[in-house]
Structure formats: C-alpha cells, structure tokens
Amino acid sequence: MPIGPLMIEHRLIEKVISLMEKAVSLAEDKKQADPDLIQWFTQFIRNYADQCHHGKEEDILFKGIEKKRISKEHETIMGQLIEDHKWGRKTTGELVAANEKYGKGDMKVLPEIIEKMKALIEFYPRHIEKEDRHFFIPAMDYFSSEEKDALLREGYALDSKLMHEAYAEKVSGIEKQLKN
C-alpha cells in the first residue's frame, strides 16, 4: 500500500481528533456530553480509522511486508503498530459502552467518557507520527514498483467498499456544529 493514501487518511483522522478535543472541552465546561456526537466519533474510529485505515495497514501493507526480509527496527515498529491498533479498538469499545450507559441516563459515567476520549486524543497523534515518520516511508523501500502498484490496487478495492466522502462531509458538519 503506497503511503500517499494512508497519509491522506491520517489528515482526516487528525481533523476528527481535533473535533473530539473540542467536544471534550465542551463536556467538561457544561458537565454534560452529547451522546449522539460521541456515538458518531466512535463509529468514525471503528469504521474509518480502524476498519478502513488500519485494515489497509494490517491486511495489505503488513501482510506484504511479512513476506519480505525487513530490518529488526522495522519489525519492532510494525509490532508496536499492531499493538497500538489493538489498544485503540479496546479503548474505543470501552468508550462505546460508557456512552451507551450515559445515553440511558447514567450520568456517573461522564468522567469515564471524558477519560476515554482524552486517551484516544492523546493516542492518535503519537500513533500517526510513528507511522508517518518512522515506518511508512522506509517500508516502501521493501517493495518494487510493481508490488507497490498491486498494493495500491488492493487499497482502492477496499476503499470502494467504504464511504470516504460521507465521512468528510460529516466532519465538516460537526466542525460547524462545534463552532457555534
């Protein structure tokens, strides 16, 4: 999977994380959260960041790299990235569970919601930096031009199943909502 599409996806994830920061700030100020907005954030993380983006990394890029002889450093980083993905899934699941309780009227879980959102807000920039600066660019050296093209085609096939444009539109709408 050539790095261009993956890095473009990172920019949208960063934008959503920035919106999550604003939502957390509002929740702390108002001592209440918007469960529908939190649900959207978790759906975005599960569907776009994890299924689409991490799916490409794990199912396409990492599987391609596993067939190569890579440096110990890149092997270690790839292992860390896989563990990061698992942590992100677990934390997002915990946020979903807390938000469901909150949506049913359990106001005592608001601190847990804020804590889980802050954990994700802190996690994603570090994770993205690790991928952008320490893995994706050097990983491309392991592939021939033909292999890169094949990885890209696999990525586009996965993308055709997902809805990039719908998420980008929703992000714009939430940006406007949180400005007011």
Give, for all 180 residues of the chain, the pLDDT tens digit: 555 667 778 999 999 999 999 999 999 999 999 999 999 999 999 988 998 888 889 998 999 999 999 999 999 999 999 999 999 999 999 999 999 999 999 999 999 999 999 999 999 999 999 998 899 888 889 999 999 888 888 888 777 666 666 677 778 878 888 886
Residue 145: per-residue pLDDT: 92
List domains and CATH numbers for the chain: 3-179 (1.20.120.520)
What's the pTM value of the predicted model, to 2 decimals?
Answer: 0.84
Q: At CA 10, angle to CA 6 and CA 16, rounded to 5?
A: 145
The answer to whether 36 touches 173, Cβ cutoff 8 Å, is no
d(CA 72, CA 171): 38
Residue 164: per-residue pLDDT: 66
Residue 8: per-residue pLDDT: 79
Residues 6+ apart with CB under 8 A from 154: 1, 56, 60
Residue 105: per-residue pLDDT: 96
Amino acid at 162: L
Residue 146: per-residue pLDDT: 93
How many residues are listed for the chain in this entry? Answer: 180
d(CA 5, CA 165): 14
